[in-house]
A and B are shown apart, each in its own frame.
Chain A
Amino acid sequence: MTGWRPSRRQLMYGLIGAQVLVLAAIVAPQELNRALDASPPVDLEILHARAGKDAFRGAYVYGTSALDLDAATVPIPLGLRSGERVMVTFATQPGRRPRIVAVDRGRRPPFTATSFAIPGRVVGERDGTSRGWRAGRVRAYVGKPAVTIDLDLPSTVAVDESALPHLTGPGMVRASLHAGFLGQRYFTDVRLAGRAWTADARFAYDEARQRLIVFAPREMTLADLKRGGAESDGQIRSDVFVFDTTGKEVGAAEVEGRIVDGIVEADGHLLALVARQRWSSEVSLVRLDERGQALQRSVPIALDRVLGFDAASGSIWSVAAPTVARPEPPHFVQRTGVAGIREPRLGPFQSIPRAVVSVGDDMWVLETKRHRVTRLDAASGRVVREYGDLNDPAEIAVDTRTLYVIEANRTQLTRVDEDGRIAWRVPRFQGLTWAVPDTAGGGGWLGAAMFEGAPAGILRFDRAGAITRLPATARPAARGDWERRIAGDVVRSARDGRLFFREHEAIAILSADGAAITRVIGFRFPGGPRLRS
């Protein structure tokens, strides 16, 4: 009896069949996973969502997950090994980010109205670095010491091509996460939920109406980028978003041009520095009404000459226009309002000032290169006092007539009394960003990356220079000396003592007692457009 030998035709068709089976093995579970899925979906947000597009995937969005992925207090199962599969359970909470409540082996709890679970894989120490190429992977840190878990969530979410024009700048995208019949998570009902902040978004505080105002220039869309970024004059727009003191959305307005910075005047009008074009280095001082309409506009002025706002007079401080191409000392400072230049010219200064702070009739001029601050009478231009003995001063804050200086490469906070004597110096900071004086109680608050070798955030300093940590943890946005800030990174409400400051991706509101922090991560609008049909 001879054995059966398949013909080449049989072999070939067998191979074709095997390949079709391989493809079907990929497709079928995915389709079954969606078709038979009956669990309720959970709404998740993608923060700082940006649009991308490639030839085969088409349009998609990517960003950071709104899940709270730090769970130091959550217990982890004993003996978890690298590569082990786990199920991470999250609890939803109104007005807050979903947080991790449990990590289990193998169990697959169903989605409910208040909880959902995402499968993940424990990442070993070696994997932590070796899998760095998987950019965008959602990674949770559970327990203490933290066990790293990579969550099985897609790093991108597909959207319709027609949705791309809606995705100007970082957005907030909401999508429904489904458990999947076979446990493979997937997203549906993807829609735009709001706008998030770019790095160049600025804010101001309306003390009288207790409103937080955010100036958010729009980023270029993918279509703009495809056109090579060429935009005609007037095509650039900014949004002005208004929030109440709890961080709840109140309203929004659209403004032509790019708002570089702004403040709120006593009558409620906005005073903003607006560039007509995206990359323009010239700005105008514009008075805006609450609907974003320009009421008055100054002549253009070079942005690098602007030194600060003078809220009381509704003007800006700037370096007087040089008469030669390469400005040489002496330099002068002058006020420019929407109606034009106001006298007197103040100076002379032997270096180009870095910033000007005005309080009442007094103004302080910061000259970083000459390591000094000069106090002048704003009305007459008379020099009241010169503060020397400083080391590379980068920022100043004024409490009536007490001066606080961030100096020594942003590692030291110095208090200078009215008579010019150094009251105290506190070194051992890293990345000192800003200081805000407490007019009533003396001392104040400061933002720094590190203090005495430990992460800092927001710290309190008292009249004598003693530093204390606050209960709430915050991460003030770092600031390089090359970054231009006209109105500053921090505002303190004189009425209720709350502190508003910029974090990397949010505007944080710190309660007066320093215990609670609210983050405004973007402006949510109801009924945002669907991004995927």
Chain B
Amino acid sequence: MGGDVPAAVRDRIVREAILGWRASGLLSAEQGDGLLATLSAAPAPVRAAVNERKLGRGVTILINLGAIALAAGLLVFFASNWVEFGRGAKVASLFVLTIAFYVTGFELTRDGHGSFPKLGLALVFLGCVMFGADIVLLALIYDLSAEHAWSLLIQCVAWLAIAYVVRSRLVLFLALLGIVAWFGAEVGYGWGGYWLYLGRPFHFIGVGACLLAVGGLHAWRGRRKFAAAWALVGLLLIYLSTLILSIFDLQKNVRLEMSTATWLVWLLFVAPYAVATASLAVIHVRWRRTAITDPPVLLVLFLLVVMTLAAVIAVTHHAREGWFILLLTLLSAAGIYLGIAWESPVFLNTSLVFFAVNLYTRFYEYFWDAMPKSLFFIVGGAALILGGVWVERMRRRVVRQFATAAA
């Protein structure tokens, strides 16, 4: 029967009984402490904190869902009645709603001395969305158009600033998406595509690298939560762009003609090798015990491989999809390694996902026509399940190690 009672409940009952006996004098203080010490050593405050965190996360999800529902309701209301408003009413409603969301939201956070921080942050997030919508709607009201996507840039700056003031990762994600949208718009305006044009993946690899670098700065300053957001968006851009290029070489014109290359191009080609050789020499001389599998050496070798690959991609006149497949494989494998080395769930999870997506894209490319469809799905599905189970077990083990190390 005793086996039916959870250990936590049993401990609580016994603890309360001991405390009651001690209070009534049936046990001395020493006897009571001795008996209490024999009970489970599980730190109750830690468990409570975990429970509290879980509850808090649930509340956050509920409040954010509520905020989204409220935003959707307002959107539908204004969409339904917008044409009925005069110009003055339209403009006034935009101003009032934006300020109301911001002020109410901020006052409800701890910084605003309110007692509903999560609701406050959700409202601030709505204010951010409203500010973006304001610019679009005002442009519609006054028939405005612009040469550059400056409005998106202004939004991004405002959102980034607010994300750091109220320390909201949700707003930070919005700002990072805004940065990507702004860059896409500028690339689109400049080269003639629609602003969501995905035909220029090279450009987005560059943006992804920049976002990763900012994430690295945050990690260096100890702001891991914000670092994760920057790194996630950066990794997504790099992996998605490389994945697209591994399927369609959309920017065939981005090549180098070495016969007409300037000295600067040659320098850029040769410099990484010189730097890598120098770095390896320094590591060998300064840290004699460093093995070839140690992180500094691996990092240098990896960069060397990536630069070699980039050089091959830049100069080859043949189909380059194969090189991009190799690049994606290298990048995602490096991401997994770094995720484990740096104990970063963002690196580990994102890289694992794209490693698998890369694998399945190739499986589709090479076997879709060659295999009977039933067999294709049987093999694909079974491999996915088995691979998923294995990877999930490995991933959990690694992430648990991170958590233990962090504790």
Is A12 an interface residue when CB atoms closer than 8 A count as contact? yes
Min C-beta distance of A533 to chain B, whole Å: 10
Contact B165 A18 (CB under 8 A): no
Residues from chain A with Cβ under 8 Å of B131 in the complex:
19, 23
Determine the distance from Cα of A508 to Cα of B92 in the docked complex, in whole angstroms. 50
List the B residue with the shortest CB-CB distance to A59: B83
Is A226 located at the chain interface by the 8 A CB criterion?
Answer: no
By the criterion CB–CB under 8 Å, are B158 and A27 in contact? Answer: no
Kindly list chain A residues whose C-beta atoms are within 8 Å of the C-beta of B194: 133
Query: Which positions 91-131 of chain A face chain B at CB distance < 8 Å?
Result: 126, 129-131
Name which residue of chain A comes closest to B78, CB basis.
A56
**B residues 76-107 with Cβ under 8 Å of A?**
79, 82-83, 91, 94-95, 98-99, 102-103, 106
Contacts of A130 in B (CB 8 A): 191-192
User: Which of A12, A20, A134, A161 is B162 in contact with, Cβ under 8 Å?
Assistant: A12
How many whole Å from B183's CB to the nearest CB in chain A? Answer: 17
Instruction: Contact check, B158 vs A18: say whether CB atoms are below 8 A apart.
Output: yes
Q: Find the residue from A9, A156, A186 having the highest chain B CB count within 10 A.
A: A9
Residue in B closest to A55 when the chains form the complex, CB atoms:
B79
A227 at the binding interface (Cβ < 8 Å): no
Chain B residues 135 to 175 lying within 8 A of chain A, measured CB to CB, are 135, 137-140, 142-145, 154, 158, 161-162, 165-166
Q: Is the CB of B95 within 8 A of A23?
A: yes
Q: Is the beta-carbon distance between B79 and A12 smaller than 8 angstroms?
A: no
Q: Are A56 and B192 in contact (CB under 8 A)?
A: no
- Specify the chain B residue showing the minimal Cβ separation from A187: B143
Q: Are B79 and A8 within 8 A (Cβ)?
A: no
Asked if A56 meets B82 with Cβ closer than 8 Å, knowing A23-B98, A131-B192, the reply is: yes
* Contact present for A15 and B142 (CB under 8 Å): no
Q: Would A26 and B144 count as touching, CB distance under 8 A?
A: yes
CB distance from A318 to the nearest CB of B (A): 49
**Interface residue B52 (Cβ < 8 Å from any Cβ of A):** no
Does B165 contact A12, Cβ atoms closer than 8 Å? Answer: yes
Indicate whether A154 sits within 8 Å of B143 (C-beta atoms), given known contacts A22-B154, A131-B192, A133-B194. yes
Q: Answer whether A8 and B111 are a contact pair too, CB < 8 Å, given A16-B102, A16-B103, A58-B83.
A: yes
Q: Please state if B83 and A12 are interface contacts (CB–CB under 8 Å).
A: no
Instruction: Given A16-B102, A19-B158, answer yes or no on A11-B165 (Cβ-Cβ < 8 Å).
Output: yes
Q: Are A19 and B98 in contact (CB under 8 A)?
A: yes
With known contacts A12-B162, A129-B192, A26–B103 Cβ distance under 8 A:
no
- Contacts A12-B162, A15-B162 given; does A26 touch B99 at CB 8 Å: no
Q: Are B103 and A23 in contact, with the CB atoms below 8 A?
A: no
User: Which residues of A34-60 are within 8 A (CB) of B?
Assistant: 55-59
B158 near A23: Cβ-Cβ < 8 Å = no
Interface residues on B, range: 35 or more
Say if the beta carbon of A132 comes within 8 Å of chain B: yes
With contacts A16-B103, A22-B154, A132-B192 taken as known, whether A57 is within 8 angstroms of B140 at the C-beta atoms is yes
- The smallest beta-carbon distance between A157 and chain B, in angstroms, is 8
- CB closest residue in chain A, given B84: A161
Q: Confirm or deny: A30 has a beta carbon within 8 angstroms of a beta carbon on chain B.
A: yes
Interface size on A, residues (CB 8 A): 32
Q: Note all chain B residues with C-beta closer than 8 A to A161.
A: 83
Closest residue of chain B to A24, judged by CB? B95
Nearest-neighbour CB distance to chain A for B234, whole angstroms, equals: 25
Nearest chain B CB to A107's CB is how many angstroms away? 22
B128 and chain A: residue at smallest CB distance? A19
Give the distance to chain A from B404, nearest Cβ to Cβ, in Å: 34
How far does the alpha carbon of A421 sit from the alpha carbon of B164 in the complex, in Å? 90
- Write out, one digit per residue, whether chain A residues 161-196 have a CB within 8 A of any chain B CB (1) or not (0): 100000000000000000000000010000000000
Contact B94 A15 (CB under 8 A): no
Determine if B134 and A23 form an interchain contact, defined as CB atoms under 8 angstroms apart. yes
B166: chain A residues at CB < 8 Å are 8, 12
Residue from the list B91, B106, B134, B139 in contact with A12, Cβ < 8 A: B106
Give the shortest distance, in Å, between B253 (CB) and chain A (any CB): 14
Task: Give the complex CA separation of A58 and B78 in angstroms.
Answer: 12
Tell me which of B94, B143, B154 has the highest count of chain A C-beta atoms within 10 A of its own C-beta.
B143
- By the criterion CB–CB under 8 Å, are B106 and A9 in contact? yes
Q: Is B112 an interface residue (CB 8 A)?
A: yes
Q: How far is the CA of A129 from the CA of B193 in the complex (A)?
A: 10
Tell me, rounded to whole Å, the shortest Cβ–Cβ distance linking A101 to chain B.
26
Q: Are B102 and A58 in contact (CB under 8 A)?
A: no
Partner of B158 from A9, A15, A56 at Cβ < 8 Å? A15
A167 to chain B minimum Cβ distance, whole angstroms, is 15
Contact B111 A56 (CB under 8 A): no
Which residues of chain A are within 8 angstroms of B143 by Cβ–Cβ distance? 154, 156, 158, 186
Closest to B87 in A: A31
- Complex CA–CA separation, A130 to B192 (angstroms): 4
List, in ascending order, chain B residues with CB within 8 A of A56's CB: 79, 82, 137, 140
Chain A residue nearest in CB terms to B127 = A16
Of the candidates A9, A11, A20, which one forms a contact with B99 in the assembled complex, judged by CB atoms under 8 Å apart?
A20
Cα A27 to Cα B95 with chains together (Å):
11
Residues of B within 8 A of A12 (CB): 102, 106, 111-112, 162, 165-166
A9 touches B112 (CB 8 A): yes
B109-130 Cβ-contact flags toward A at 8 Å (1 or 0): 0011000000000000001000
Give the docked Cα–Cα distance between A154 and B166 (Å).
40
Asked if residues A23 and B79 are in contact (CB atoms below 8 Å), the reply is: no
A58–B82 contact, CB under 8 A?
yes
Interface residues of A (CB under 8 A from B): 8-9, 11-13, 15-16, 18-20, 22-23, 26-27, 30, 55-59, 126, 129-134, 154, 156, 158, 161, 186
In the A-B complex, the 9 residue pairs with the smallest Cβ-Cβ separation, listed nearest first, are A130-B192, A58-B83, A154-B143, A8-B111, A55-B79, A30-B142, A16-B102, A11-B165, A26-B138
Beyond contacts A22-B135, A26-B144, A56-B79: 11 other A-B pairs, Cβ-Cβ < 8 A, are: A8-B111, A9-B112, A12-B112, A16-B99, A20-B95, A20-B98, A20-B99, A23-B135, A55-B79, A57-B140, A129-B192
* A-B CB contact pairs (8 Å), 11 listed: A9-B111, A9-B112, A16-B99, A22-B154, A23-B95, A23-B98, A23-B131, A26-B139, A26-B144, A56-B137, A158-B143
